[in-house]
Amino acid sequence: MAGIGSACLFAGLLTAVYAAGASLYGVRAGNAAFVISGRRAIYCLAALMLGATAVLQSAFLRSDFSYALVAEGSSTDTPTFYKVTAMWATQDGSLLLWALLLSLFASAVLFLTRRSLRGIAPYATAVLAIVAGFFLLLMVGWENPFGTLANPPAEGGGLNPLLRHPAMMIHPPMLYTGYVGFSIPFAFAVGALITRNTGADWIRATRRFALVAWTFLGTGIMLGALWSYTELGWGGYWAWDPVENASLMPWLVGTAFLHSIMVQEKRGMLKIWNVCLIIATFVLALLGTFLVRSGILDSIHAFGASTIGVQFLVFIALVVVGSTALVISRLPYLRSEARLDSLLSREAFFLLNNLVLVALCLVIFWGTFFPLISEAVTGTEASVGPPWFNRLTTPLALVLVLLMAIGPVVSWRRISPAGLLRAFMWPVLGALLTLLVALALTPAGERPLALLMSCFAALVLAVVVQEFWRGASARRTISGDPWPRALSRLVARNRRRYGGYIAHAGIVVLFLGVAGSSAFLEQRDVRLSPGDTFKSGGYDITYERATATLGEDRAGSGAPITFGAVLRARDEDGKTFTLRPSRNFYPTQDASKGAIGRFFEGEATSEVDVRWGLRRDLWTAIRPDISALEGPIREANAKFGNSSGDVQALVIAALAERYRRDPAPATFRAIVSPLVSWIWIGGGIVLLGALIAAWPSPEARLRRVRSLYSARLGRDLRAEPS
């Protein structure tokens, strides 16, 4: 079967080369048959990548350790869910995932544009084929996921325990879908530049793909944060880690792109800016993939050193140089069709929002690559930590939230100062009321930046509510519909606008969660014996007893041994509840640890227990001290090293029971994080807004039917689109 997988990859590489060649020849020679043939080659590429993925997945599910990748990243005792997802935990497998997603996205967009963009689409096909070809070349030449072992081991190394978390296994495909999705507007932007067709056609054809990519990337980032919060055992959700930053940068620039393309669609402005943004987004997406895999920056996420770093860098450099040269050569065709009528216009505020988003990206870029830059300049590696990032990004985030409040109330082209004041009166009153309530009822006054953020967030939420209310009122005036119907038809008729407002509401809810949890977090690290009590953030927490279980970890990650604790917590109101933080121990394949010791001395992961709440979370983790077992483990290794598996299991059970009955003091971390749940809720609201905005509008669905009748303008505009 491995031969079939390798054949799929090589056939895929040849197909991608053919797709690029046929498309370019077809469009240059005016031969539509070659263009269609090139497009069909992309469909074939998707089929080949699906075939390759099926072969590899089958090997993982069968635990076929003759595949080097399966032997490295899976084992017979890895739960089935994690066997399925283990493919993208490895470098070779994640390259295959990139190629698969890219071929599927490319097929979808080329199918949807098969009757339009005749000039641009063939060039876009060629660009997408070249990108896919690069990833296939990496796999065929250096990192073949179908590499086999002459002497397969009886047991595999197993999936990295840190990755045995549901969020973490969905997180990489989400991120990759986001990265790959941005290659679609990039490819069409290149096509538009080559053909000098720099209007909004390429944007209209690919806007929805950009939005889908943005949504997936954002969801992937959120899942990564959730994994960090619940799995890594340090209690935070964002550490400004290089790989986290690498995913945030294309998302930020992609956000700027999604806003600024509206200006090009509506006013024919910002053409240079838009092509630069999408090129930057795509390059940052490539850089994100490169950072995860290259290991050039220290990161908890960089799983394994790479052999393809140089190839990645060369490809990124080619993309940057080629795209920049193309933009420069097409500058005369990228002139704005209109001028900014007023600084009090939506396009002006979109531009400001873009500048802030790009500034945020630049700050993060500098902080992320500072260790490399300092090493290159001074010879010593220096890095910047979270305080540096927080100090620079917080003011920018505040400005961004303020702009989110102003942008929606300002109309295109211009708004009078009086109109702006009128539109802002109620939201400003709402924000002031929030300020007073926050000062009176919460400790927000001690943290001015958090207070300012809550005030601006209230302004944004009030603006969003006002926009819905005013829109629905206007509809009621025209149609006489009851409120719920007026509201639903308003959203259905203007999905992009109101979906965007919902996304804005989600972002500020998320920012509120970040502000509250980072400004008012209380953390305590204590060492306790059973019966001891400590206080943290208004809770009395008692370590009741130790636990030790075999093969019963709550997360279903397949850990054979779990040591933990039962904690009894009581809040200020006297309400009590139980928390059960634990630590999973995974066996190592290192024979020097002994037949019994290898179960206790392999990797260990924290299984935190969180009391989730809208007002605050109580987060707990334990680090059990099993040093008292070292002596008995040594004895057991000597005595039962050659015994049967059943006997060894009994010995391990006896050692675990010994810890349970007489545990050494354990180290606990308890964190009380106010409002942290609003981060996840905000993320969910953003997702909902993005889905509404991306959903095809009734106009789009009816376009084909209407086109048959060549409707006239006035009648079309009077007609209800649904």
Binding site for other proteins (CB under 8 A): 1-4, 6-8, 10-11, 14-15, 18, 22, 31-38, 40-41, 43-44, 48, 51, 115-118, 200-201, 204-205, 265-266, 409-416, 419, 422-423, 467, 470-471, 473-474, 477-478, 493-494, 497, 699-700, 703, 707, 710, 712-713, 716-717
Beta bridge partners of 668: 526, 622
Q: 13 or 690, CB closer to other proteins?
A: 13
Q: 265 or 625, CB closer to other proteins?
A: 265
Closest distance to other proteins from the beta carbon of 472 (Å):
10
Question: Three-class SS of residue 545?
Answer: strand
Q: 197 or 542, CB closer to other proteins?
A: 197
Closest distance to other proteins from the beta carbon of 4 (Å):
4
Closest distance to other proteins from the beta carbon of 258 (Å):
16
Q: 400 or 409, CB closer to other proteins?
A: 409
**Which H/E stretch holds residue 144?**
none
Q: Kindly give the residue spans of alpha helices, DSSP state H, lying in 142-200.
A: 166-181, 183-195
Q: 117 or 334, CB closer to other proteins?
A: 117
Q: Kindly give the residue spans of alpha helices, DSSP state H, lying in 588-644.
A: 630-640
Beta bridge partners of 610: 619
Number of CB atoms found within 10 A of residue 576's CB: 12
- The CA-to-CA distance between both ends of the chain, in Å, stands at 51
Is 667:526 a contact under the CB 8 Å cutoff? yes
Is 534:669 a contact under the CB 8 Å cutoff? no
Q: 118 or 335, CB closer to other proteins?
A: 118
Distance, CA of 271 to CA of 456 (rounded, Å):
31
Q: 615 or 718, CB closer to other proteins?
A: 718
Q: 43 or 388, CB closer to other proteins?
A: 43
Closest distance to other proteins from the beta carbon of 127 (Å):
18
Is 105:209 a contact under the CB 8 Å cutoff? yes
Number of CB atoms found within 10 A of residue 523's CB: 15
Distance, CA of 368 to CA of 698 (rounded, Å):
44
Closest distance to other proteins from the beta carbon of 707 (Å):
5
Q: 28 or 535, CB closer to other proteins?
A: 28
Number of CB atoms found within 10 A of residue 52's CB: 25
Closest distance to other proteins from the beta carbon of 111 (Å):
13
Q: 24 or 205, CB closer to other proteins?
A: 205
536: CB partners within 8 A, 6+ apart: 522, 523, 524, 618, 670, 671, 672
Question: Three-class SS of residue 524?
Answer: strand
Closest distance to other proteins from the beta carbon of 41 (Å):
5
Distance, CA of 282 to CA of 322 (rounded, Å):
13
Distance, CA of 253 to CA of 246 (rounded, Å):
12
Closest distance to other proteins from the beta carbon of 207 (Å):
10
The answer for 555, left when phi > 0, alpha when psi is -120 to 50, beta otherwise, is alpha
Closest distance to other proteins from the beta carbon of 277 (Å):
20
Closest distance to other proteins from the beta carbon of 426 (Å):
12
Q: How far is CA 165 from its chain centroid? A: 15
Number of CB atoms found within 10 A of residue 440's CB: 9
Q: 423 or 636, CB closer to other proteins?
A: 423
Closest distance to other proteins from the beta carbon of 32 (Å):
4
Q: Residue 26 corresponds to which tokens in the numbers above? A: 């077809």
Distance, CA of 445 to CA of 441 (rounded, Å):
10
